[in-house]
Amino acid sequence: MTTADDELRRTLARINGRAWGVAMGLVLGLGLAIATLFLVIKGGAVVGPHLGLLGIFLPGYSVTWHGALFGFVYAFVIGYAIGRLIGIIYNAASKPRHSPR
């Protein structure tokens, strides 16, 4: 095994908190927006009675066109916070193994 192989095994990647935040935010935001829009386009007598319950936790959210926008913003902010927190905790937890010697 070469030195590079050994180093590759021992070195651990740091997480970019901002990138994880944006990625998680987009996944959650687009997920909720697409789920909302799917139900709105599908239509029916009662549109999205179960997804609409999210409005209890996210004031202003509803299964409507503008609710999809609200939901995207809410979920993006929550996802960003989750990604950022994971990045901070991960980097702190794995620090001793990749800090500069």
Sites of contact with another protein (CB under 8 A): 2-4, 7-9, 11-13, 15, 53-54, 56-57, 82, 85-90, 93-94, 97-98, 100-101
Identify whether the C-beta of residue 12 lies closer than 8 Å to the C-beta of residue 47.
no
Q: Which is nearer to another protein, 41 or 100 (CB)?
A: 100
Q: Which is nearer to another protein, 41 or 92 (CB)?
A: 92
Q: CB 89 → another protein: shortest distance, Å?
A: 4
**37/91 Cα distance (integer angstroms):** 37
Q: Which is nearer to another protein, 45 or 93 (CB)?
A: 93
Residue 9: Cβ within 10 Å count: 9
Q: CB 58 → another protein: shortest distance, Å?
A: 10
Q: How far is CA 37 from CA 6, 15, 41, 48, 78, in A?
A: 50, 33, 6, 10, 19
